[in-house]
Chains A and B, each alone.
Chain A
Amino acid sequence: MTDSNSSLSNLDLETPEKPFLDSNELVINMGPQHPATHGVLRVILRLDGEKVLGLECVIGYLHRGVEKIGEHRTYTMFNPYVDRMDYVAAVSNGLGYCETVEKLLNVEAPPRAQHVRVILTELNRIASHQLWLGTHALDIGAITPLFYTFRDREEILKIYEKYCGARLTTHAFRIGGLQYETYAGFEKDVKNFLAFFRPKIDEYEELLTTNRIWVERTKNVGAISAQDCIALGVTGPVLRASGVKWDLRKAKPYANYKNFDFDIPTGENGDTYDRYLVRMAEMRQSVRIIQQAVDALPEGPIMAKVPKVMKPPAGEVYHSIEAPKGELGYFIVSDASTQPYRVRVRPPSFVNLQALDVMCRGQLVADVIAVIGTLDIVLGEVDR
């Protein structure tokens, strides 16, 4: 309680000091159609030679008004829409939404459903990190990891496909539990995947972790301090790489994460390399969680008692989960009708993207690419 405004953080969001040589400032526009901006992100860079003086993100190219749509759909009907925000981690989005509505309805999913939810969500975290790794490495010029990660991600998508028929926007969960009982051989598939995937992480690491060029390209690039992270509201692996041991699965356990034993990997320098290491370690932790969950998968019902027509009592709830990209929150206001009065999504990518400016100051143009990659944003979620 001794904090004062001065120690808040020394984020200087104003124009930086004049460069030594009074050369012309070069303003370069990157995107919205650019291979390295991971979607339709437009970045306006102010450069001094190759050095970045500052940048501004222009977003909204993918804005679909998800929150507005939510106000005009029933609780059940809105469920598939959330998958379309962070389409790389659709299952996590669904989990967050279902749990929030369950909170409003004051029901809890049965244990079996909880376990399956954890398995699918963690698989999703792995898939999301794989996609991140592939594209991030591709941005830095290593093309091979992309194919390795996509090959292995395919196995996860196959499990999804067998479970619910969809691969990307799965719509796997229902408010109150699961729609489907797991298919026969689900557990075996998951276990097979874990056995298959464990050596694959080593394979990725072999390609990159000690690769001199990779280390040189990522060490001390886009570093951000824990203080700045917190001040900017950055969450997820980016925050953890800066040394804050904070994970919503531990801090505010949801589903039944409190029953599982796992570590929160953290970094020290908050640079791109640390973020890479943290995400790699998170994949290993996810494997651990899935192993525990699938080993202890209980029998029982998969749906709690929820009314066919959902009319949660008037009230409001904010609930958030640890999505692969950070804190994914839902703020839902109910007016006791069948449709939510207001649905607010707190997207991790959107808030994390704010840190891009801070992280890129003083870096080179080539580093901006690396930093955009390491932030792991999905524009569908940024713009909603």
Chain B
Amino acid sequence: MGQIIQYITSYLGSNQTPGAAGNMFWALVYIMLVFVGLSIAVIAMNWLERKILAHMQVRLGPMRVGPHGLLQPIADAIKLLLKEDIMPAEADGLIFWTAPFVVVLAAFTVFVVVPFGPTHAITDMNIGILFMLGVSSLSVLGIVMAGWASNSHYPLIGALRSSAQMVSYEVAMGLAVVSAILMTSLNAEGTGTLSMIGIVQAQLAQGEWFIFKFFPLGLIAFFIFAVAMVAETNRAPFDLAEAESELTAGFHTEYSGFRWSLFFLAEYSAMIAVSSIAVTLWLGGWLRPFPNLLHNSTWDLGFSLFPGVTFLLLAAMCFYNAARMPKHPLFRIQTIGLAGFGAVLGLIGLVLFYPPVSGRIQDIFWFSAKVAGFMYLYIWYRGTFPRYRFDQLMRMGWKVLLPLGLGVLILTASVALLQQTLWHP
């Protein structure tokens, strides 16, 4: 116990890189943190998606369980865990049981290399981005397994659709990623990196997020990735695999209860994972806005206040809404609950002002904020777009995004070569 406290205190005082140092202990701590954080993020996403979508659609969304439905995800989770776990009689037992785990495993393993900050990653792999793409492509296997093992028409068609979709869009996605990786090699040595931390550090060194690099080449590559990642995660408007009007629910039609919730978990963590890739490759990862331009102690201090201020604002929102609650004895518990939630958020906000904490939380905050932006986009798409048809989806992947990606890659390479030869003859 004392050793652990010693570790923590030494960590707060040092500048250790967990992965590179090969520190098993910190790797384990980060695995736990990422796992818990991810689960909380998925739960929060569940609530936020329902609320935001509801407000886009002139509804209120969950309002009953807890103040403003805050406890709804927990109630849902309990319901899902208590539900009967049904297996179709003709299903292939072993594969049916293992498929959800394969999907979840693939979705969670990806986070091994996600850099929440220069010192906040489980490990820093030499082939970070390759590892991410590879492992996330494994979730296709789980989907195909689930669809086939259910031994029913709808899941099989759904599985074939989503895997065909994911395999196709991986190509365009890969090309976009390669063009971003190419940009990391624009330094004096001329060697790039595949390491996720290295990619962000390259953006810091070049003083530019890759989305703005070689305008508009970086932007186009980012756009390709942004489209492909929605298709990759089977979300609207590319959610054909689970088009309820055509295929009821796609590959997980026959799943129920806990196993269904694993698919749900995997879908949302996959969304967070691909958003993390996008943020890392094009939006400067954990870097705060203008790290090079506005670089003096005043600006540093100003930006370090952001996390705390954000939480205080959320707390203020809770208090404001608690004050607006109907003054009725029946609403007392709800009001107290909301105020209590606000108090917790406020407390977190205050802790975040404590300099050692705020210094370390900075990177995580900016990274999460950027990922949250993508999450909002996902919800927004869902609220506004109809669904593509399968042939249109394939046409888009192969005939629009793929040539575009190739073109961007070639152009980026040419411009980079030109720049290298002109500036570093």
Among B33-87, those with CB < 8 Å from A are 53, 56-59
B389 and A366 within 8 A (CB): yes
Query: Complex: how many Å from CA A137 to CA B246?
Result: 13
Q: Are B245 and A213 in contact (CB under 8 A)?
A: no
A50 (CB) vs chain B CBs: closest residue:
B390
CA gap between A235 and B330 in the complex, in Å:
55
Contact between chains at B386 and A147 (CB < 8 Å): no
A20 to B388, CA, bound (A): 26
Are B56 and A36 closer than 8 Å at their CB atoms?
no
Also in contact, A142 and B385, with CB within 8 A (given A50-B390, A147-B58, A213-B237):
yes
B237 touches A138 (CB 8 A): no
Number of A-B contacts (CB under 8 A): 74
**A213-B388, A216-B389 known; A147+B59 contact, CB < 8 A:** yes
At the interface, yes or no: A106 with Cβ under 8 Å from chain B?
no
The interface residues of chain B lying within 8 Å CB-to-CB of A214 are 386
Most buried by B among A141, A147, A148: A141
Contact partner of A141 (CB less than 8 A), chosen from B57, B58, B245, B391, is B245
Of A35, A146, A151, A364, which contacts B389 at CB under 8 A?
A: A364
Decide yes or no: A138 and B390 within 8 Å by CB, A143-B383, A144-B384, A213-B385 being known contacts.
no
**Is B399 interfacial (CB-CB < 8 Å)?**
no
User: Which residue of A36, A137, A140, A366 has the most chain B CB atoms within 10 A of its CB atom?
Assistant: A366
Which chain A residue lies CB-closest to B239? A141
Nearest-CB residue, chain B, relative to A26: B153
Interface check A367, CB cutoff 8 A: yes
Whether B248 sits at the interface, judged by CB under 8 Å, is yes
What residue in chain A is nearest B385 (Cβ atoms)? A213
Interface of A is mostly: helix
Question: Among residues 187 to 242 in chain A, which have CB atoms less than 8 Å away from a CB atom of chain B?
Answer: 207-208, 211, 213-214, 216-217
A82 to B417: give the CA distance in the assembly, Å: 77
Closest 8 CB pairs of A and B: A141-B387, A36-B245, A147-B57, A142-B386, A141-B386, A139-B245, A140-B386, A366-B389
Residues of A participating in the B interface, judged by any CB pair closer than 8 Å:
28, 34-36, 50, 137-144, 146-148, 151, 207-208, 211, 213-214, 216-217, 364-367, 369
* A-binding residues in B (CB < 8 A): 53, 56-59, 153, 236-237, 239-240, 243-246, 248, 382-392
| 26 A-B pairs with C-beta separation under 8 A | A34-B248, A35-B244, A35-B248, A137-B386, A139-B245, A140-B245, A140-B387, A141-B236, A141-B237, A141-B245, A141-B385, A141-B387, A141-B388, A142-B387, A144-B56, A144-B384, A146-B57, A147-B58, A147-B59, A148-B58, A151-B58, A216-B388, A217-B389, A364-B389, A367-B389, A369-B246
15 additional A-B residue pairs with CB within 8 Å, beyond A140-B387, A141-B239, A364-B389 = A35-B248, A36-B246, A141-B243, A141-B386, A142-B386, A142-B387, A143-B57, A143-B383, A211-B386, A213-B237, A217-B387, A217-B389, A366-B243, A366-B246, A369-B245
